[in-house]
A and B are shown apart, each in its own frame.
Chain A
Amino acid sequence: MELTDREMNHLLHALLDLGETMLISGAEINRVEDTLIRLGMAYGARKMNVFVITSSIVITMAFPEELEVTQTRRILDCAGNDFTRLEQLNHLSRTCCREQYSVAEFQQKIDEIRNEPVSDWPLFTGSMLGTFSFAIFFGGTVWDGIIAAGFAVAICFLQKYMRRICPNTMVFNLLTAFLIGLGITLLAGAVPGLHSDKIMIGDIMLLIPGIAMTNAIRDVLVGDTISGAMRLIESLLWAGSLACGFMISMWILGGAVR
């Protein structure tokens, strides 16, 4: 496919949009790199130089006749998981490699996926079911599970409204853990028969960056050392701030609450 200069620029922009959305929907680093390379080659690049880390994407496309185009994209928030979107993007890039959309059409299809509105009910029902089950899974009673699900709703609201005003994820985790810890300890102290530890464990499962951590270690072992190390340090800091938040709430309320 012959592309004009303008179209080359637009193509790179579309590729960066695609890569960015894949990253923030929870794709692994080498999946993003692999997809971008394939797409670039399908659009007639002679060579694709793609460099992806969790905070930035750099693409240099080398076309025939010594023509090279570079664009970069800074990724600010890369900690989400949206599997519907990820699957749609995966599907789009596959069909695009096969059917060769025009650049404008390709961009339009990416925008459709990016701008699709997401409803809140998966966030709430998923969090509630997850915390309820894991509170019981780790040895709590049904009541512990129900209370954990109640606090999960609080966490969802915090994620929806407080996250925006927090400077970063560390501060957000610290504050959330502190508030939730405070609430659970107070409630469990007032109502006999509740186990504050099981309720908290259920809610920790929602906040713990366990997935980021396993992804990080995997990235390192696969060879994406920079991304892996970045994500590992990030997730350790998140887990640390989570622990600090819970600890502070326990300290304030007298320490030995189990």
Chain B
Amino acid sequence: MTVSEIILQLVMAFAGSVGFTILFRLRRQLIIPASLGGCLSWGIYLLAHLHYNIFFACLIASAFAALYSELLARIRKAPVTLFFISAVIPLIPGSTLYYTMSYAVQRNWEKAGEYGNMTLQYAFAIAVGISLIWALFSMRQKIRKGDDMKMDKKDRT
């Protein structure tokens, strides 16, 4: 991939994320920071893909997307989902899903299997990446809120 191709992809990842934030009616002040997440996570994917296979590269990128949205949600005091969706959208395997179907129609089962396998790897890697970060954050939250929880229990019983 040439440098200009990479830059084009990053710009388009950003613009695409902006499109989806508009579609989902995100508040205007949050559109730019949220969409930057999509651009950055695609950059991280490309970087990671230099050394790792697509599964690990995608895992790292989606973990980054989750981390980015958790931090942004804390700074901007808004629900995490708002930022997460635009950050992860460039990683969603739309193209491999398409080629899986396309090769299946042409009865090229070998290629169809290859692309189907890739689609599943992407989907699974995204899920594992975000779950790792979310598990860490929810544990941290529980440790911090430990005292409140004890009081809650006392009230309830």
Contact = CB atoms under 8 A, between A and B. Distances in A.
B23 to A, nearest CB: 3
B82 A217 contact: no
Interface residues of A, number: 53
B109 interface: no
A246 interface: yes
B94 to A, nearest CB: 5
B98 A217 contact: no
Interface of A: 26-28, 31, 46-47, 81-87, 90, 118, 122-123, 125-134, 136-138, 197, 200-201, 204-205, 208, 210-211, 213-214, 217-218, 221-222, 239, 243, 246-247, 250-251, 255-256, 258
Given A84-B27, A211-B85, A126 B19 contact: yes
Contact of A90 (B19, B79, B101, B131): B79
A173 B62 CA distance: 27
B27 A137 contact: no
A126 B20 CA distance: 6
B16 A133 contact: yes
A28 B22 contact: no
16 contacts: A26-B81, A27-B79, A27-B81, A47-B156, A83-B82, A86-B79, A125-B22, A129-B15, A130-B20, A197-B102, A200-B98, A205-B94, A211-B85, A218-B131, A243-B100, A258-B106
A123 B23 contact: yes
Nearest to B42: A137
Given A86-B81, A214-B126, A126 B23 contact: yes
Nearest to A126: B23
Contact of B102 (A26, A85, A133, A250): A250
Given A26-B81, A137-B16, A222-B134, A82 B24 contact: yes
A239 B101 CA distance: 11
A243 B100 CA distance: 9
A247 B101 contact: yes
B85 A87 contact: no
The 3 closest A-B pairs by CB, nearest first: A126-B23, A130-B19, A129-B19
Interface string B121-140: 00110110011001100100
Given A205-B92, A247-B101, A247-B104, A130 B23 contact: yes
Contacts of A85: 25
B8 interface: yes
A218 B22 CA distance: 24
Interface centre among A87, A246, A255 (most CB of B within 10 A): A87
Nearest to A210: B92
B71 interface: no
Contacts of A136: 8, 12
Contacts of A134: 12, 16, 94
Contacts of A213: 123, 127
Nearest to A215: B81
Contacts of B131: 217-218, 221-222
B63 interface: no
B79 A221 contact: no
B13 interface: yes
B12 A137 contact: yes
Given A128-B19, A205-B16, A221-B127, A247 B105 contact: yes
B78 interface: yes
B59 interface: no
Nearest to B16: A133
Contacts of B27: 83-84, 87
Contacts of B8: 136
Contact of A26 (B24, B106, B127): B24
Contacts of B102: 197, 250, 258
Nearest to B34: A83
B61 to A, nearest CB: 13
Given A205-B89, A214-B127, A133 B98 contact: no
